[in-house]
Structure 1
Amino acid sequence: MNTTLQTWLRASALVGTLAIASAANAATPVPEGPLVTTEWLANNLDNDKIRVIEVSVNPGVYERGHIPGAVNFSWHTDLNDTVRRDIVSKENFEKLLSQSGVGNDTTVVLYGDTNNWFAAWGAWVFDIYGVKNVKLLDGGRVKWEAESRALNNRVPEYGKTSYTVSGINTNLRARLSDTLAAAEGTSDAKLVDIRSADEYSGKIFAPAGVQELAIRAGHVPGAVNVPWGQAVNKDGTFKSAEELKKIYGAVGLDGSKPIITYCRIGERSSHTWFALSKILGYNVKNYDGSWTEYGNAVGVPVSNPSGTVWAAK
């Protein structure tokens, strides 16, 4: 074999090897279903059709370090109305997505701190406003950091889009009237209280240190108690669909009737809404007014097994 032919063969082999390596490192298709893994996201951070959005509640978390390329949405000021108690308006939501470079063909991956509670709230708001191709990073910030994956503190800049909401799905949101109807048996909706057992029983009004309080303790009559943490594994990832069906089925939540989830301010119940609605496919509304609205409402029925009585200090 002459030298020229040998050189050509070696070059061809090198090109083939590089092509194989490039293919192995190429972006992989977006998984079916509502979740993506940390491994998949780490391998797809350079995909310009994917927009990673952090929704955290603790100040400074995003600024100290976030998933490379992630945009920051503040739960307090971006996904909620800052004057009245309500979710972000349609107009401000459109502006938010447009400024973040989200288009109709963009896959959005949400993640956040505090067990992904507020990222799940984000997924709920995105669903209300009809955004397609929305995923939740399974395990959120906690799992990403536990695996020592890349973080940086650079704020990305993306070209603006003109995102327009095509429709609003109000059926994903329960109001006080919906919850009261379920409590009084005038609707067939099933209520699930995802707070701790002590909150549910009325032993405590709210977790220690929180600012949003109700002056009555207990739960909505007829509600079953499935604390949100029963839906996740030790690493914060959701349990399998089969496991979730058993957990919720044990208290009569099998998808045969509409379900209303609630907690204290609607963030933990968003997490359970995600499990029941997105993973199991049940018909679920999230009651974002939750106990801070219901427990402060005048004249509504309350179940308080512990008999705790509120007293001003």
Structure 2
Amino acid sequence: MSLRRLLAALATAAVTLSAGAASAQSSAFLVSTDWLEKNLDNAKVRVVEVSVNPGLFERGHIPGAVNVNWHTDLVDVVSRDIAPPPQFQALLKNAGINQDTTTVLYGDNNNWFAAWGAWIFDIYGIENVKLLDGGRKKWEAENRPLSPVAKIHAAGNAQVKTANAALRAKLPDVLAVARKEKDAVLVDIRSADEYNGKVFAPNGVPELAVRAGHVPGAVNVTWSKLVAEDGTFKSVDELKAIYQAVGVDGSKPVITYCRIGERSSHSWFALKKLLGYDVRNYDGSWTEYGNSVGAPISNPAGTVWGKT
């Protein structure tokens, strides 16, 4: 074989191995609608719906799925915090999730709250948790089966572990980066109008901050750039290119944030699970940061609360 042909063969092999590694990385944390439909009767697979719009689960859900309410089941309803260990332990038990269960989460709004659920599962050390790629949107678009009947499962035996603080950023962490006391990349995944301070929040949402803009130094990569038309995540190579365009290449720790933490958990999933970067989700997000006295803010649009 000539040197030229040898080099060409090696290049082809490298591309094949790279594509295989990317595919394996994705399949480790995502399942397709086709795979899930074929595994609905698998006793070791538990499907969990985490949607935001009320009544969706009751009108029809993936057969055998368990309903988890983000507003009550995955948070402490009094304090501004994630569900405490005893509460999450009870959720696992009631959902019938065992130590050897493959848990598949899905939901509406392109899996925003399902990704939040995956983040909570990861924080508490529950293994073999995946997202249904495309969520409800793709499942319904393909006319796959839905059931209005809620199934009761036998109690699960999965055990929560000590919360992994390395997956969660808090206000002092973000302030340290904003003040250049720590070296990390802040990724604001909100819309351009939110990021630039033109609006305080999307229309109709109840959770607000009294200041507009973004954390100084944060780059804006809207969550919607990460998904295809059918709601599935773009390829690993496409995701890398999107983030590399704004200087996010995995060489530094990353902190994602949005308004209340749900959209940013979707980006956290892409960066952490699909790209393998060191990423924390700041669930306090703009409703905490934008209401914090003295926190530095970049507000290009100059919008001020109460000024018309």
What is the TM-score of this pair, normalised by structure 1? 0.89
The answer on 1:94 being equivalent to 2:89 is yes
User: 1:167 offset after TM fit, Å?
Assistant: 2.8
What amino acid does structure 1 have at the position aligned with 2:125? Answer: G
1:69-106 CA-to-partner distances (Å, cap 9, x unmatched) read 00000000101111111111101111110111111100
Which residue among 148, 152, 168 is the counterpart of 2:147? 152
Aligned to 1:207: 202
User: Which of 56, 65, 77 in structure 1 is aligned with 2:60?
Assistant: 65
**5+ residue gaps in structure 1?**
1-30
Deviation readout 1:125-152 (Å, 9 max, x if unpaired): 0000000000000000000000000001
Given that 2:196 and 2:300 are in contact with CA atoms closer than 8 Å, whether structure 1 keeps it comes out as: yes
* 1:152-182 deviations in Å (ceiling 9; x for gaps): 1111111113332133211100000000111
Of the candidates 131, 146, 171, which is equivalent to residue 136 of structure 1? 131
* 1:245-302 Cα distance to aligned partner (Å, 9 max, x none): 0000111100000000000000000000000000000000000000000000000100
- The residue type paired with residue 150 of structure 1 is P
User: 8 Å contact 2:45–2:102 — kept in the other structure?
Assistant: yes
Alpha-carbon distance between aligned partners in 1 of 2:286 and 2:168, rounded to the nearest angstrom: 15
Matched residue, 2:50: 55
Residue type matched to 2:86 in 1?
A: E
Task: Provide the C-alpha distance between the structure 2 equivalents of 1:67 and 1:99, rounded to a whole number of angstroms.
Answer: 18
- Give the Cα separation in 1 of the matches to 2:27 and 2:128: 10
Helix, strand or coil at the partner of 1:286: strand
Give the count of matched residue pairs.
283
Query: Which residue of 261, 278, 281 maps to 1:266?
Result: 261
Cα distance, 1:312 vs structure 2: 7.4
Residue 71 of structure 2 aligns to a residue whose secondary structure is: coil
In the alignment, the residues of structure 1 paired with residue 276 and residue 172 of structure 2 have an alpha-carbon distance, to the nearest angstrom, of 24
* Whole-angstrom distance in 1 between the partners of 2:160 and 2:201: 36
Q: 2: distance between equivalents of 1:63 and 1:126?
A: 24
* Amino acid in structure 2 at the alignment position of 1:124: W
The aligned counterpart of 2:187 is 192
Contact 1:95 1:163 in 2 (8 A): no
- Mark the structure with the bigger radius of gyration: 1
The residue type paired with residue 65 of structure 1 is G
The one-letter code of the counterpart of 2:172 is S
- Provide, for residues 177-215 of structure 1, a one-character-per-residue CA deviation record: whole Å limited to 9, x for no partner: 000111111111100000000000000000000000000
Is there any run of 5+ residues in structure 2 with no aligned partner, and where? 1-25
CA distance in 2, matches of 1:293, 1:166: 27
4+ long deviations beyond 2 Å: none
| Equivalent residue, structure 2, for 1:238 | 233
Aligned to 1:17: none
Distance in 2 (CA, whole Å) between partners of 1:167 and 1:185 is 30
CA distance in 2, matches of 1:209, 1:105: 41
* Alignment partner of 1:281 out of 276, 282, 289: 276
In structure 1, distance between residues paired with 2:161 and 2:288: 30
Separation of aligned partners in 2, 1:165 and 1:136: 19
Counterpart of 2:150 in structure 1: which amino acid?
A: V
**SS of 2:70 mapped into structure 1:** coil
Among candidates 153, 156, 164, match of residue 161 of structure 1: 156
* 8 Å contact kept, 2:126–2:158: no
1:174 aligns with one of 169, 172, 175: 169
Q: For 1:55 and 1:108, how far apart are their aligned partners in 2?
A: 12
The amino acid of 1:109's aligned partner reads V
Q: Calculate the TM-score normalised by the size of structure 2.
A: 0.90
**Alignment partner, residue 43 of structure 1:** 38
The one of 106, 113, 117 aligned to 1:118: 113
Q: What CA distance in whole angstroms lies between the structure 2 residues aligned with 1:185 and 1:113?
A: 37
CA contact (8 A) 2:198 2:303 kept: yes
1:254 matched to 2:277? The reply is no
* Amino acid paired to 1:218: G
Q: 2:75 aligns with which of 62, 72, 80?
A: 80
Identity across aligned pairs (percent)? 66
Q: Distance in 2 between matches of 1:155 and 1:261?
A: 34
